[in-house]
Structure 1
Amino acid sequence: MKQDGVWDNKNIICDVLGRAPDVEMGSFGDGWSLCRWRQFVGTYTLPALPQPIFTVHVAGKPQVKTWDRDGWTETSSIPGCATIVPAGMPTGWLVDGELDVVTLSMSSDVLAGQPHAEQFNKMRFAFADPLGVALTRQILSELYAPQAEERTAYVSAMVNALKAHILSGPPAHGNPTEIPVSDFSAYRLHKIMNAVLANPAEEHSLDAMAAVAGVTPSHFCRLFKKATGISPHQYVMKARLDRAQQMLVQTDLSLAALSEVTGFTSQSHFSRAFRSWFGMAPSDYRQQERRGLH
């Protein structure tokens, strides 16, 4: 529908993708709108949206990039990541495989007076938000279930919890050193994910990550995959490959040296992993990207 003579977020995205959302809930009459979108490989240019949008990457191939000034971002969004797109900012998207995301758009009236509303004033791409992802997945599972009065009330409560979580500020706000709980928590998962992203070359063994989470390794694997859509090993591997991808362009390190500093056991292991993930050899990627810079 149109708001004050302009399309809302849902209609603009529908126009760009050429399809309606798979499922939707809410409307801008209520000040918010939640939609699930599934799209396949391609590049998409999204014009400036009238409302800011919080996006959760729930599934699909882990290779989604956005346009950043003069090229595609070195890092990629993977299932389990969240992205904030501010109002009034055109964006470009590169999708290598199926894209499966949920968007939550909120009106300026909903954001007015919120303590962390400024987080919606700038682009924030592919950050870890385990609680936001877990809430979104739970909402989706209920939306696809048979409708009942009690389920409608439950879904509304979950959406309200997701909105409250988002409006409380991004995960980067505050960084407490101790959380006084013994059970597994979203904070602990977020702490583990950030530690991997900060130092992907470190070992990050399953036993060590599970110890930080305070659960057994097998239970940690289940919890991690439920929250992010991928295994802990895949998450560590993706973080290493993203760092290697940056260094291929920004440094002159040999492939052997680069594989060592990014945590791979050998150059051949690095090359196989890179080709499997990105579809080309690391040396070919370096040449391709450097040609594009000239």
Structure 2
Amino acid sequence: MPKQLEREKDASAPAQKVWDNKAIICDVLGRPPEMELGSLGDGWSLCRWRQFVGSYALPPVPDPIFIVHIAGKPRVKTWERGSWTETHSIPGCATIVPAGMPTGWLVDGELDVVTLSVSSEVLKTASLSDQFSKMRFAFTDPLGVALTRQILAELYAPHADEREAYVSAMVGALKAHILSGVPAQGKPLEIPTSDFSAYRLHKVMNAILDHPEHEHSLEQMAATAGVTPSHFCRVFKKATGISPHQYVMKARLDRAQHLLAQTDMTLAALSESLGFTSQSHFSRAFRAYAGRTPSDFRQHEQTIQ
């Protein structure tokens, strides 16, 4: 494991900066988060981090962290019992890092994660500190991942007053999900809602996120959920705030942002690979979503990398 980062404290020196989770991660990675949302004063802090190949030693953090692996290479390992794990995290996995535990990370490619730091005091108040008392690496949490991705999609969309309320509601849902208890390893949480379970709804959402280029017709999605198309539309919009078609489009445009930043695919090839009817259709949709043309977005991303 890489050598542990040390911070010497001089008792005679002036008061030092308080090292919260974000400050510690910034120090280790050598960069600020790409995006930050939330207030430590309220007991929460949500950040997006993008880092590249290397090994990183994270000192003990004061508060537990819920981590969602958003994108990047599926070859992220952690240091455990004297070696790197055989298991590795892939996009769509979640990890819990408890307070007070040093951790090591091996990134073979690009890492793109969202961290939600949870105040230890909040957990004590909620009597839920036990589930955050040990390391849980790369487990399945469809709801937590879907909520996190939806929050990101909204944060990168053009500003709108009504979107702020929606993002706030989605963050609240993610907080509630974590405090209610994330699912045990390999056992996705199922919460029955009327005539079909949330798990089936999340299965549809994850299928869209995994393969946004597929057609994902309303009839096909409703059949997967086991309900009629009209009922599926009502339940889906109630759960996500948007229609199934809008969710598919968001998933395609999120993937387009990643491909524009990380590949040299032509716009024609990219639009075809993501299921758009034409390059012009893709360009119009992308500009409405991201506030700039695909070419401008690619140029901006390549400039900051």
Q: What TM-score range do you get, normalising by the shorter chain?
A: 0.5 to 0.7
Tell me which amino acid in the other structure corresponds to 1:84. Answer: I
Aligned equivalent of 1:33, options 30, 45, 57: 45
1:77 aligns with 2:89: yes
Residue 177 of structure 2 is matched in structure 1 by 165
Distance change (3 Å), C-alpha of 1:181 and 1:61: farther
Residue 137 of structure 1 is matched in structure 2 by 149
Q: CA deviation at 1:47?
A: 0.4
Distance 2:92 2:43 in 1: 25
CA deviation vs aligned residue, 1:232-278 (integer Å, no higher than 9, x gap): xxxxxxxxxxxxxxxxxxxxxxxxxxxxxxxxxxxxxxxxxxxxxxx
1:90 aligns with 2:98: no
Residue 10 of structure 2 is matched in structure 1 by none
| 2:34–2:47 CA contact under 8 A, matched in 1 | yes
Distance 2:189 2:37 in 1: 35
| 1:17–1:39 CA contact under 8 A, matched in 2 | yes
Secondary structure, aligned partner of 2:125: coil
Residue 278 of structure 2 is matched in structure 1 by none
Q: CA deviation at 1:4?
A: 9.1
Q: CA deviation at 1:25?
A: 0.4
1:185 aligns with 2:198: yes
Q: TM-score, normalised by structure 2?
A: 0.59
Q: CA deviation at 1:44?
A: 0.4
Tell me which amino acid in the other structure corresponds to 1:105. Answer: S
Q: TM-score, normalised by structure 1?
A: 0.61
Tell me which amino acid in the other structure corresponds to 1:114. Answer: A
| 1:56–1:82 CA contact under 8 A, matched in 2 | yes
Long gaps (5+) in structure 2:
1-14, 207-221, 228-243, 256-305
Residue 63 of structure 1 is matched in structure 2 by 75
Tell me which amino acid in the other structure corresponds to 1:88. Answer: G
Long gaps (5+) in structure 1:
194-209, 231-294
Distance change (3 Å), C-alpha of 1:172 and 1:20: same
Runs of 4+ residues deviating >3 angstroms: 173-185, 187-190, 210-215
Secondary structure, aligned partner of 2:38: strand
Root-mean-square deviation (CA, aligned residues, Å) is 3.5
Distance change (3 Å), C-alpha of 1:40 and 1:168: same
Q: CA deviation at 1:109?
A: 2.5
Residue 112 of structure 1 is matched in structure 2 by 124
Q: CA deviation at 1:30?
A: 1.6
Tell me which amino acid in the other structure corresponds to 1:131. Answer: L
Q: CA deviation at 1:188?
A: 7.2
CA deviation vs aligned residue, 1:112-160 (integer Å, no higher than 9, x gap): 2324331111100000001000000010011112223221121111111
Q: CA deviation at 1:111?
A: 1.2
Q: CA deviation at 1:6?
A: 2.6
Residue 156 of structure 1 is matched in structure 2 by 168
Higher relative contact order (CA 8 A, sep 6+): 1
Secondary structure, aligned partner of 2:86: coil
| 1:12–1:49 CA contact under 8 A, matched in 2 | yes
Residue 11 of structure 1 is matched in structure 2 by 23
Q: CA deviation at 1:99?
A: 0.2
CA deviation vs aligned residue, 1:159-181 (integer Å, no higher than 9, x gap): 11000001111212988899466
Residue 51 of structure 1 is matched in structure 2 by 63
Residue 303 of structure 2 is matched in structure 1 by none
Residue 126 of structure 1 is matched in structure 2 by 138
Distance 1:7 1:178 in 2: 38
**Matched residues, percent identical?**
68
Tell me which amino acid in the other structure corresponds to 1:57. Answer: H
Q: CA deviation at 1:186?
A: 2.8
Distance change (3 Å), C-alpha of 1:176 and 1:159: closer
